[in-house]
Structure 1
Amino acid sequence: MAFAHLHCRTQFSLLDGAVDPKKLAAGVAALGQPAAAITDTCNLYGGVGFFNACKSQGVQPILGAEIWMWPPGLAGRDPRAPDAGWHLVFLVETRPEDAGTWPPTGYRNLNRLITTAIFDGMHYRPRIDWELLATHKDGLIVLTSGLNGPIGTALADGDPDRARADLQRLRDILGPDHLFVELQDTGLPGQPEMNDLGRALAADLGLQTVVTNDVRYLHPEDAVTLDLLNCIARGENFDDPDRAPIPTDQQYLKSEEEMRALFPDDGDAIDRTVEIAARCRFDFKTDTYWFPATDPPDPDPPCPEGVHKARAPRADTQANWEYFYKAFPPPLDFGLPRPEEGIPEKPDGAGSINGYFEWYATLGLKLRLQHVPEDQHQAYWDRLAFEFEIIEGMGFPAYLLIVAEFINWAKDHGIPVGPGRGSGAGSLVNYALRITDIDPLRFDLLMERFLNPERVSMPDIDVDFCQDRREEVIEHVREKYGSPLVSQIITYGKLQAKAALKDVARVMGLDFNQADRIAKLVPNELGIKLDAALEEERLKTLVEGDPMVGRVYQLARRVEGMVRQTGVHAAGVVIADRPIVEHAPLYRDGPDGGPVVQFEMKSAESIGLIKFDFLGLKTLDQIRDAVEMVARNTGERIDLSRLPFDDPDTYALLQRGDALGVFQVESSGMRDLLQRLRPSCIDDLIALLALYRPGPLSSGMVENFIECKRDPSKITYPHPSLAPILESTYGSIVYQEQVMQIAQVYSGYSLGGADLLRRAMGKKKKEEMDKQRAIFVRGAQEQGHDEQDANELFDLLAFFAGYGFNKSHSAAYGVVSYYTAWLKAHHRAEYMAALMTIEANNTDKLLAYIGDCRRAGIQVLPPDVNESVRGFDVPKGHSDRIRFGLAAVKGVGDGAVEAILEARERAGGRFHDFMDCLEDLDYRRVNKKVLESLINCGAFDWTGHPRRALLEGLPAAMSVAQGTQEQKAAGQVSLFGALSGAAAPKRIRLPDVGEWPTAIKLSHEREALGFFITGHPLQAFRGIVERLTTCTIPQLDRMSADREVTVAGMVTAFRQILTKRGNKMAFVTLEDEHGSVECVFFSEPYQASARALVSEQPLLIRGKLEKTGEGSKILAESAEVLADVRIRRTREIHLHLEDHELGGDRADQLRGLLDDSQGRCPVFLHLRFPGLARTDWSLGIRAVPDEALMQGIESLFRRADVVELR
């Protein structure tokens, strides 16, 4: 006989299992065991992957799960019973009556049990009850689990009679041939007694026993990994002496011999594992796509053998036509009635799925061709016919109609949709159906890059919707197909290198800063492993030099790659032909989450579920908002889809690198590349997006591209026949599609075969490469080319294929980049206002965009409760101004914004004064903190009152305003009430105080907005800043690494940590008027600069410029308070005044300020008289330009530009 493990938890039990299902399958095969079950806790997350792994190892997979069950008499969410109940193990049985059907009964019932436990039975953990079990028992074999099963828990509670009663009830529900009593011996206390009682009860109740090992890991030494994962789950300290560690290392994948040695008297229970396995031969159905809404009343007859699907017989009926027209109505711009308005007469041939698909696409292309010269039309019709053959032959018209339906629904309802994304932009059918808005013939895009008839796989169309209305489209899909047929897709958060180090460091007792310091030494490389990370010298030194860090690293290697938590895929949505729970169990992310398929994306697709990607792209929101703002301000209606791609102003903007905020090209590296490459056509912009990646940048491709663009005489082609393919990229192979076209032209490949060549070159598998080389060279020779030349070209293609980019995606996103650049070039204020509204919560970006506006001569005005709307806005008739939005003020939520705008409307569009505003506000939505923020940011500056007076008078003003509201509500204030002597509303006088000093005023402003808007503390130091700094902060991005730099700014973020030696160091964010940068102070510079860094005053920082993947950073060498530097560096003080400013007693007050400021700098007065030349005097006074003098002069003359320091 043999043995099979029927109770195995994997990493998908989320920190309660320590084995990858693939390794489990390999371990079972290595032991020579015929089968194994996966039984994770209330989920099938790893089911599909485990099945595939087992099959590749020649092992029979068994699908199952361990589910928590309410005990008899206790069903419901009893808060006193978080641990009430026990586990049962469920295995999917194969029943003869299920042959040829999907889903089999057992699989469907297990899905129902898991899903219902999660959605309806959650009480600390998912649970099922007896009634649910009785309803969904068919096709399931049940094991009694171990110490957490009905027998083990009853013994632990000292109630063996309860075990008998529970087991008897289970037997009555399931039947004796579907319930088995588990025997386990993994060294845990209580198991021998459990086994004895289990044997006795099985004998008394007519049940059979089965031996399991409750497997949690592969080898005994892996028990520490499980213990570590448990600590991560519970937040426990691994070395805590009071912690109870896992008491056994015996829950590993044991051999048959080991199991028989443990149970010498239970040979039949061991043999029974294989008998049960023989009853559990469930398999996933992987040869069918479960398309929704594609079962018309009159299905097509079967396709005769040997006939291409595109030419198969069709059921062309009126009933089918009406069915498809209702299911997939064409968009409004086709000019046809909506289904609810009536069904048009059936066109010939449109009464089948393929016929309807062709009719839809043909009509769509006719409309597209209205904007294409007539002499080019035939090429489009030929391409359309070619694509019909491919799409219908692969069986995908239904897929494309489904995608077209929800995209066109979105467009018809005013929801912005991107022009395309990914390889789908290469299809003319997609263009005709309005799935994309990229003309593939105009951009020389290939259908075979999207669908390859020589490699059949489900098409993959990712769709960008505007961020704020994306959910509406998903909700439409739910309403159209029914919620049970629509679900999002799960994702698994894994303990990758950095996360593993952080989690292990935490459970080893290290604090957050220590853990973070270790993790940050792992290079920012996607998917990097800890072993590879150790090549980073600083990490290696720390691991080898600090025993605790070394231990953290070694333990982190144990858990690396394990699943830590689940989440929801950002875009993936499944739409099925029936309730999804029949195809897969469902999960939800949190108590209010919607249904989520438990299989990750690839697994879900592999079992025939149709996945669609609904992505949110905030650039589309931004474009929409800018276009609407332009229309509102100027009346101009912009149709971006009709823009020519040759606008000189747009390319001029790009060529000068003025691309901050432009889609895909706003990074400093991209802006630098724009200036070097100087794009002059849309093809250049498309190529730029493809080239700006690590491979091309490091390989010399980019420099070669730029050189050949500047000097066409340097362009060379591998062969003259390839010139038409490479002409648009100046002789460089930039795109994957070019690799395919070269193989077609030079070696006679079909484009489908060329796509296989491209894939092989991308994977670089020697066996496949050798095979493709032979095909390529043979084909080239048949075309008349030399063998050596063919081999050299193959090597060239193999090199570039590793760097080549998908041109379809680059073209689609290049068009969006062009749209945003055009908007910035022609409607800059509206575009930047829309951009800042979208980025309102990103202080760093807002600061950069405000700086960009100011450099372009656009004034960014502070918030104003009389002028501002929710978002940033361009006042009508003022294209040189942007008004701050109320929602961008910190602490002012959507409810408060709505209340202010409603009150303003009630007031006739403007508040007359401060009290007028307060008396009209809804204080349920606008509280004192909201008003304080609005005062501090300048939103009440229009009243003419100092911010300080408004803030100090606010409590009294609010009290009076609320009293007035109460009087009005009681009907005490009216015209007739006033005439009869009723109390009139009280008015208050604000405190008679002046404004705060500029520094304090700006500090409050920054608290309210996240940055300074009406001024900046650096403005008081402008002269000395210009003299002593290397550049402004944004200019750092255009400077080379390792350069010595000096910058000035305010510290806006400060974090101090301890090094491993106990020394202090700090990370500081420094902000000037235009941007911000991180400055790193190691121990010595920090010790010397600590006082300055916490002074809350403008600073001058010197250091070395470092470039990282995240941008610029300064490794600081010193920091000084600018006021101190000013005193030290100033030689002369010059005062610039108008003659009238010295009227009254101001001259005496000025003299008093100067007399009080005894110092070494001579003071000069420059006085202007109307109509006369300036008069200059030396006052014979020496003063010191300290804060007291500067603030005193500013307060005296109420402006900050009186003093010039030299």
Structure 2
Amino acid sequence: LLGEWRETFGAENVAVEVQHHAAGRGEEALAAALIELAEREGVPWMVAGDARYALPGERRALDVLTALRHECTVDEAALRGLLLPNDEWMLQPPERVAERWSGREEGLAATQEIASRCEFSLAWVRPPLPAFPVPAWASADAWLRERTFAGARERWGATPSEAQTKQLEHELTVIAKLGFSGFFLVMHDAVREARSRGILCQGRGSAANSAVTFCLGVTAVDPVKHGLLFERFLSESRVDGLTEAPDIDVDIEHDRREEVLDYVYERYGRAHAAIACVVQMYSAPTAIQDCMRAYGIPAEQAFALSKRLHYAEPSVGVEKLREGMAKEFGLDVESARGKALLAAIGAFEGLPRMRSTHPGGFALSAAPIGEYCPVEPTTMGRTILQYDKDDLDAVGIPKFDFLGLGALAMTRRAFDVIEARTGKRPELYALPQDDPATYAMISKGDTLGTFQIESRAQIASLVHTKPERLYDLVVQVALIRPGPIQARFVNPYTERRRGRERVEYAHPALEEVLARTMGIPIFQEQAMRISQVLAGYTAAEADELRRTMGNQRKQARLVAALTKLRDRMVERGVEQPVAEQIVEDLQSFANYGFPESHAWSFALIAYATSYLKAHHPTEFYIGILNAQPMGFYSVATLVQDARRHGVEVRLPCLAGGSADCTHEERGDPARPALRLGWRFIRGI
């Protein structure tokens, strides 16, 4: 066979692989025989290793997984010969390989020669986007331009302003240069189809920074009016040699999301579409449960112990066991077996445990996507990628996100009732955004059941900040988040908002950046603008800083980026203490900074749900009850709140009611009664 391969492919393209794992005389004899075969047939032999894990300590994890796969303990697996004989089956360091093959360097030379002939690019596994159907006269770029300016005339009037036109021209140029026109057309088409079916949907996230997505009707926030940075969404900067793909998240009524997904799958073909996966890593509880089961410890004991560690990393679990938790559960971690158990638990640090389906992200390909990416079948006849969202970003594969949102489902149901009663259907974005009654209700913290501002923390904050306009809600949505809370920005903002603390700026130039947030950085876009104003960063450099600040896995890179920012500010005349204070503030909320465009998108829905509660309480409660499960509060709590707002809540009626909640007219034409649905009767 080797001779046939040599004749077919040429001796220079065939080599015999030889391995050495110190596994005994049998392996040594096989290696010698393979070398002899290669020399006899006139082909090179090369050194390789059968790596089953990366680092020596990970062998313990492999032993546990092997035992679990064969449904036995580690001891039983060893007796059955299922485990590897030693620790040599890792990625061997070059010096160790050279030492092992000392005297037979020709094998190493052949390995290096073959490696030098190999090349790989992540671009090879990036599937081409499907060609969006466009008129015969147009390219994708030209058709996107036509659709965008048609939408601009609907959004801004027959003659968009110079600033609006300039922004669109800039964005369209960048989109065309990066080859993403088809991506925008796909999203526009999906949103158009959803709306044609009466499905409420809205783009959010960084996509709301784009005037193109606004004019296409994908997002609802005017980025030109509100001064949002397009580069927060898409820039020409490079990440690992690849263009960073745009990321558009579209929220859809949560119970009608499947309709949109089915449309996209049918339009482009199921072989050409796949959902991204979510990789769930081992935590201390899961590592402890798997390892203790493999070491023959009763499952009840393992479960009881693991519950004490919640979501800690495996290494934290090992520390807790050593510190005394093991003794509480009758484990001797000082014995040889106990030490082996701890080593096994620690070996699962940073290892993936399982894959699940991403809630909304998927990729499209012009060719069958399995020709480019690893895929596997999943339910409903669909396909799942073995890439998660970070993998897609690394490769540069655009991700299409259609996410279910209960708030849109409840809003649509409320609109249905209003239309049925009045003959007029409200429009989500046509509601008056300066309604005094709505802001008065919000300022009292009467927001139970509304979107994004109904948590106890939000209610407590609203009572103090007392929003008076939509931008106040934008700030509010972003304020009660881990970033500002961790950075201790909430109290200063509240005190300044109430006039109890003076608004101050670390540098005079920061006033234009931070004035609307009381001198406090709350949004990611503000960090980007600070770097541009004080450090002279380009838009691309500012976006690179934003990406670095959002990467929790690379703290060393974050420190380096902030040090560079401080030095650039000092070079441009900012005093050292001031530069250090600014960097410290940015570092405090680096991992959790909220995009302003995202906050705008959420604030629009927060306001709409609040408006419904203030002016159409019966319809509001019918909407939220019929959209259950969703939100913070139980059905009983929502019903009690409805009664507090003067809504007559009637018990379910099997004779004349329905499964869902309905309205029933009564003496007050402005406020119908609410009849609870059958589905809220336990057991039905």
Aligned equivalent of 2:430: 642
Change (3 A) 1:209 1:800: closer
Change (3 A) 1:809 1:286: farther
- 1:293-329 C-alpha deviation (Å, 9 max, x unpaired): 16xxxxxxxxxxxxxxxxxxxxxxxxxxxx6248xxx
Instruction: Select which of 191, 196, 204 maps to 1:412.
Output: 196
Aligned equivalent of 1:248: 85
Aligned equivalent of 2:66: 230
- Aligned partner of residue 267 in structure 2, secondary structure: helix
Counterpart check, 1:883 vs 2:672: no
- 1:66-87 C-alpha deviation (Å, 9 max, x unpaired): xxxxxxxxxxxxxxxxxxxxxx
- 1:325-380 C-alpha deviation (Å, 9 max, x unpaired): 48xxxxxxxxxxxxxxxxxxx7xxxx344333222211211110149xx9x94432
Is the contact between residue 278 and residue 357 of structure 2 (CA under 8 Å) also seen in structure 1?
yes
The unaligned stretches of length 5 or more in structure 2 are none
Letter in 2 for 1:883: R
Aligned equivalent of 2:275: 488
Counterpart check, 1:609 vs 2:400: no
Aligned equivalent of 1:95: none
Is the contact between residue 127 and residue 369 of structure 2 (CA under 8 Å) also seen in structure 1?
no
Of residues 447-456 and 670-679 in structure 1, the stretch that sits farther from structure 2 once superposed is 447-456
Change (3 A) 1:183 1:769: closer
Letter in 2 for 1:388: L
Aligned equivalent of 2:234: 451
The separation in 2 between residues aligned to 1:573 and 1:639, in whole angstroms, is: 30
Letter in 2 for 1:380: Q
Change (3 A) 1:830 1:289: same
Letter in 2 for 1:404: H
User: 1:270: how far off?
Assistant: 7.5
| Structure number with higher relative contact order (C-alpha < 8 Å, ≥ 6 residues apart) | 2
Aligned equivalent of 2:180: 396
Instruction: Select which of 618, 624, 629 maps to 1:835.
Output: 624
The separation in 2 between residues aligned to 1:195 and 1:788, in whole angstroms, is: 64
Instruction: Select which of 491, 503, 508 maps to 1:715.
Output: 503
- 1:487-525 C-alpha deviation (Å, 9 max, x unpaired): 22233332123321232233344455533433333355x
Change (3 A) 1:492 1:722: closer
Aligned equivalent of 1:355: 142
- Aligned partner of residue 401 in structure 2, secondary structure: strand
Counterpart check, 1:381 vs 2:156: no
Of residues 181-190 and 498-507 in structure 1, the stretch that sits farther from structure 2 once superposed is 181-190
The separation in 2 between residues aligned to 1:511 and 1:625, in whole angstroms, is: 50
Aligned equivalent of 2:286: 499
Is the contact between residue 186 and residue 250 of structure 1 (CA under 8 Å) also seen in structure 2?
no
User: 1:431: how far off?
Assistant: 0.5
Counterpart check, 1:772 vs 2:565: yes
Is the contact between residue 493 and residue 566 of structure 1 (CA under 8 Å) also seen in structure 2?
yes
Change (3 A) 1:175 1:627: farther
Aligned equivalent of 2:213: 430
Aligned equivalent of 2:134: 324
User: 1:435: how far off?
Assistant: 1.7
- Aligned partner of residue 123 in structure 2, secondary structure: coil
Change (3 A) 1:221 1:773: closer
State the identity %.
28
User: 1:688: how far off?
Assistant: 1.2
Is the contact between residue 499 and residue 519 of structure 1 (CA under 8 Å) also seen in structure 2?
yes
Instruction: Select which of 410, 421, 440 maps to 2:204.
Output: 421
Greater percentage in helix: 2
- 1:779-821 C-alpha deviation (Å, 9 max, x unpaired): 4x4xxxx646863664465356636421111111111111122
The separation in 2 between residues aligned to 1:606 and 1:280, in whole angstroms, is: 21
Aligned equivalent of 2:460: 672
Is the contact between residue 213 and residue 251 of structure 1 (CA under 8 Å) also seen in structure 2?
no
RMSD, aligned CA: 4.3
Instruction: Select which of 128, 132, 135 maps to 1:290.
Output: 128
The unaligned stretches of length 5 or more in structure 1 are 1-163, 295-322, 327-345, 890-936, 938-1005, 1010-1206
Task: Give the alignment of 1:309-348 within 5 angstroms.
Answer: 324-325=134-135
The separation in 1 between residues aligned to 2:7 and 2:656, in whole angstroms, is: 75
Instruction: Select which of 241, 247, 253 maps to 1:460.
Output: 247
- Aligned partner of residue 503 in structure 1, secondary structure: helix
The separation in 2 between residues aligned to 1:597 and 1:172, in whole angstroms, is: 39
Task: Give the alignment of 1:50-449 within 5 angstroms.
Answer: 187=23, 213-218=49-54, 222-238=58-74, 244=80, 246=83, 248-253=85-90, 277=115, 280-285=118-123, 290-293=128-131, 324-325=134-135, 351-370=138-157, 377-418=161-202, 420-449=203-232
Task: Give the alignment of 1:948-987 within 5 angstroms.
Answer: none
The separation in 2 between residues aligned to 1:286 and 1:614, in whole angstroms, is: 26
Of residues 752-761 and 611-620 in structure 1, the stretch that sits farther from structure 2 once superposed is 752-761
- 1:1088-1122 C-alpha deviation (Å, 9 max, x unpaired): xxxxxxxxxxxxxxxxxxxxxxxxxxxxxxxxxxx
Is the contact between residue 362 and residue 432 of structure 1 (CA under 8 Å) also seen in structure 2?
yes
Change (3 A) 1:460 1:844: closer
Aligned residues: 662
Counterpart check, 1:584 vs 2:373: yes
Change (3 A) 1:171 1:854: farther
The separation in 2 between residues aligned to 1:741 and 1:404, in whole angstroms, is: 29
User: 1:719: how far off?
Assistant: 5.0
The separation in 1 between residues aligned to 2:513 and 2:101, in whole angstroms, is: 72
Task: Give the alignment of 1:655-666 within 5 angstroms.
Answer: 655-666=443-454
Task: Give the alignment of 1:655-804 within 5 angstroms.
Answer: 655-711=443-499, 714-718=502-506, 722-745=510-533, 749-758=537-546, 765-779=558-572, 781=573, 787=575, 791=579, 794-795=582-583, 798=586, 802=590, 804=593
The separation in 2 between residues aligned to 1:596 and 1:715, in whole angstroms, is: 51
The separation in 2 between residues aligned to 1:179 and 1:454, in whole angstroms, is: 42
Letter in 1 for 2:625: M
- 1:451-500 C-alpha deviation (Å, 9 max, x unpaired): 23455532221222222232332332233333332222233332123321
Counterpart check, 1:574 vs 2:412: no
The structure having more radius of gyration, on CA atoms, is 1
Aligned equivalent of 1:872: 661
Instruction: Select which of 505, 511, 517 maps to 2:304.
Output: 517
- Aligned partner of residue 574 in structure 1, secondary structure: strand
The separation in 2 between residues aligned to 1:261 and 1:743, in whole angstroms, is: 51
The separation in 2 between residues aligned to 1:397 and 1:241, in whole angstroms, is: 55
The separation in 2 between residues aligned to 1:775 and 1:807, in whole angstroms, is: 25
Task: Give the alignment of 1:853-864 within 5 angstroms.
Answer: 853-864=642-653
The separation in 2 between residues aligned to 1:360 and 1:633, in whole angstroms, is: 36
- Aligned partner of residue 738 in structure 1, secondary structure: helix
- Aligned partner of residue 418 in structure 2, secondary structure: helix
User: 1:589: how far off?
Assistant: 3.4
Task: Give the alignment of 1:1076-1115 within 5 angstroms.
Answer: none
The separation in 1 between residues aligned to 2:256 and 2:412, in whole angstroms, is: 12
Change (3 A) 1:794 1:480: same
Aligned equivalent of 1:629: 417
The separation in 2 between residues aligned to 1:848 and 1:203, in whole angstroms, is: 81
Is the contact between residue 273 and residue 362 of structure 2 (CA under 8 Å) also seen in structure 1?
yes
The separation in 2 between residues aligned to 1:367 and 1:691, in whole angstroms, is: 33
Change (3 A) 1:289 1:579: closer
Of residues 270-279 and 663-672 in structure 1, the stretch that sits farther from structure 2 once superposed is 270-279
Give me the TM-score of the superposition, normalised by structure 2: 0.82
